[in-house]
Amino acid sequence: MSTFQAPKGTYDLLPPESAAFLAVRDALAAPLRTSGYGYIETPGFENVELFARGVGESTDIVTKEMYAFETKGGDRIALRPEGTAGTLRATLEANLHRQGNLPVKLWYSGSYYRYEAPQKGRYRHFSQIGAEAIGTEDPALDAELILLADRAYRSLGLRGFRILLNSLGDQECRPLYREALQTFLRGLDLDEETLRRAEINPLRVLDDKRADVRRQLTGAPLLQDYLCAACKTYHEEVRALLTAEDVAFEDDPKLVRGLDYYTRTTFEFVHDGLGAQSAVGGGGRYDGLSEMIGGPSLPSVGWALGVDRTVLALEAEGITLDLPPATSVFAVPLGDEARRVLFTKVNELRRAGVAADFSYGGKGLKGAMKNAHRSGARYALVAGERDLVEGVVQLKDMESGEQTAVALDRITAEVTSRL
């Protein structure tokens, strides 16, 4: 055992479980690749101020959960707690919004970091797939992203998730609601920190998960009662577009997202099989974020889907993904000449697209066949001196035990026909 262990709240992703994570990542990203979204990678750390301005100084992410530190050069840096701010920063820095077609449609995949109390489904290091459509205000974009996430989840076989939908208004109608909500919150028995948060961004209090706070929020004014005509019309069009595509959703007037930059459309994907940590993904529109970080007006919308949470949702529904085997053929050479010949044949199989592995380390037949079984291979290629003299290799079916002599120049054709 190593002297060191993975840091608290993190995990190592190891085979064979890692194959499911890779399959989930691919499935979540697949609809984006066919819908005009280009892939982007941003640094794993950014300037602290990017997240303080964009995510919001009153959020738990910035005040409690961000991994922030000072570099040797004196720069204040933070490990990225989410992907939207960095993606928008990269878009502005590269002037992607000035190169013609809007919206700029991007998707990304990576690890994110938040200092949270570790529990199942909530880690300090976690994996997400994200998508952003930057530079255009259009209900069809909001509906498109919700539709793509719905399609991705269903492609994995998930059926037990729900889509919660709400509108958070805009700069025209939000101030009236903010004042009404703050007046309501000032009359509650809240701790000093929560009251301070209510003065900075009262919507954050609505996202408080503590039972004593939630009990007091009964009767809080609803944002839907304060929406201006433009926001109501916009939201109704999003709803109509989703309905036309048979995407089921639930109106949730109390839904707010945990980041300050959201406006208008906000949504969350929840799975009741995950208990308290039921969210598997979510997002919304963030029309003012670009200005918050020093850019021009670029109305945008996006989402992030948790890979870890999606895997837990699959487990909750008892879904086992149909994954291709890591190894289809395992080569077992008996003798130096057989090692040379089978090594060549293994690489020939790989070039033909067959997952093939090799018995390394000069093991005997018994040890090598144990490795073949552990690899999960469908077939074993076994060859000794007598086989090579006859110009054949023994192809063994690992399930039935049946063994067939196959000519050396026919191995690839025989294996591919059987697979």
Residue 391, judged by CB atoms within 10 A of its CB (0-12, 13-18, 19+), counts as: exposed
Distances (CA, A) of 352 to 164, 296, 341: 46, 51, 17
114 is in an annotated binding site: yes
Helical segments of 157-297, H only: 174-186, 192-200, 203-206, 211-216, 229-244, 289-292
Distance CA 287, CA 290 (A): 7
367 labelled ligand-binding: no
Beta bridge partners of 392: 407
Q: Is 262 annotated as belonging to a binding site?
A: yes
Does the annotation list 83 as a binding residue? yes
CA 178 to chain centre: 32
Query: Is 82 annotated for ligand binding?
Result: yes
Consult the annotation and say whether 3 binds a ligand.
no
H/E element holding 350? helix 336-351
Distant-in-sequence, close-in-space partners of 120: CB < 8 Å, separation ≥ 6:
277, 312
Three-class SS of residue 222?
coil
**101: its two tokens:** 């077609």
Element spanning 415, H or E: helix 411-418
Minimal CA–CA distance to 264: which of 280, 248, 247, 283? 283
Strands 329-333 and 379-383: parallel
Residues annotated within the binding site for L-histidine are: 82-84, 114, 128, 132, 257, 261-262
Residues annotated within the binding site are: 82-84, 114, 128, 132, 257, 261-262
